[in-house]
């Protein structure tokens, strides 16, 4: 997930309120009475983020949702990749494996190893099988898991990736996931950028949307003010976990929003959030969160 919210969100809350109210239909089926486990970039505490081993482990660990961050290549392909640039997690020829994702074709990015960095950074969790892993496309993820899992894609830097929203919706239709989103809430689309969510809302008014919230977004404003604006176009919020307290939860409930804070890997913080009544949590360690949910009966 990105770490900040565009200033447009802070500057134009009244515009957001003008949007028609989002149907709450699928929202109730998202949770089925329990807190959901959202695998942040897959089980990215156990395997390199946004790789098949990370997603496979998340499924094995019982995650309810898989979260692919979306970047778009120069030839218009959506890939599961967090950063706008390749430098942090890609290894390989500098002409292909550095710089902005949007300046490389899929074929060029396929030349990059996106697993070895994990072994370098986390030697205690390193595995030889992580070396040489390739970037995976969103279409490949949808084809691999289909509707056997639930999805939580995030549009990243959508202002720099025109057509990202249309490409995402096309893949939902191609892989038969649009109805899973609309009828059962099994695909939630999130963004820090409200303009991206508004565009999605225009393209398909029934899709469940989630507004991500940073501390910057809340600065100088009460939860009631922010969440009232969000409720005009989204069904849920994904706040920085440090923003959650009883007052935030009360404001979310008053506005009919579910709450999925990010990104929590500390069991003490998990327990605090679960006791406050959050509806789910983003985590790099789905197995750890599953243990805390079980221990607390959530």
Catalytic residues: 40, 82
Q: Is the distance from CB of 284 to CB of 67 less than 8 angstroms?
A: no
CA distance 121 to 101: 22
CB atoms within 10 A of CB 118: 24
Rg over alpha carbons for the chain, rounded to the nearest Å, is: 18
Residue length, the chain? 298
Alpha carbon 119 to its chain's center = 24
Q: What does the alpha-carbon distance between residue 221 and residue 204 come to, in Å, rounded to a whole number?
A: 30
**CA pair distance 108, 74, nearest whole angstrom:** 10
Give CA torsion, residues 10, 181, 57, 110, to 10 deg.
-80
What are the residues facing 240 on neighbouring strands? 262
The CA distance from 173 to 65, in Å, is: 19
Residue 258, Cβ neighbours under 10 Å: how many?
A: 24
């Amino acid at each position: 997930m990105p770490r900040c919210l565009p200033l447009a969100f802070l500057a134009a809350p009244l515009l957001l309120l003008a949007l028609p109210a989002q149907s709450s239909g699928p929202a109730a089926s998202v949770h089925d009475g329990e807190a959901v486990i959202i695998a942040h970039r897959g089980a990215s505490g156990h395997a390199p983020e946004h790789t098949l081993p990370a997603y496979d482990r998340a499924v094995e660990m019982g995650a309810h949702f898989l979260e692919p961050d979306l970047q778009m290549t120069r030839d218009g392909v959506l890939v599961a990749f967090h950063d706008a640039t390749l430098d942090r997690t890609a290894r390989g020829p500098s002409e292909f494996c550095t710089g902005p994702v949007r300046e490389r074709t899929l074929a060029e990015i396929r030349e990059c190893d996106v697993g070895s960095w994990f072994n370098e950074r986390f030697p205690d969790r390193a595995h030889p099988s992580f070396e040489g892993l390739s970037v995976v496309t969103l279409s490949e993820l949808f084809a691999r898991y289909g509707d056997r899992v639930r999805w939580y894609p995030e549009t990243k830097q959508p202002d720099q990736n025109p057509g990202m929203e249309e490409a995402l919706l096309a893949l939902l239709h191609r892989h038969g996931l649009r109805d899973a989103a609309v009828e059962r809430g099994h695909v939630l689309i999130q963004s820090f950028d409200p303009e991206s969510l508004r565009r999605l809302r225009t393209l398909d008014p029934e899709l469940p949307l989630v507004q991500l919230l940073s501390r910057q977004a809340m600065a100088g404003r009460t939860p009631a003010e922010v969440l009232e604006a969000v409720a005009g176009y989204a069904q849920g919020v994904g706040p920085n976990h440090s923003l959650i307290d009883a007052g935030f939860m009360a404001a979310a409930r008053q506005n009919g929003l579910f709450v999925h804070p990010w990104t929590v890997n500390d069991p003490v913080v998990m327990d605090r959030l679960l006791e406050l009544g959050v509806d789910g949590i983003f985590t790099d360690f789905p197995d750890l969160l599953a243990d805390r949910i079980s221990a607390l009966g959530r």
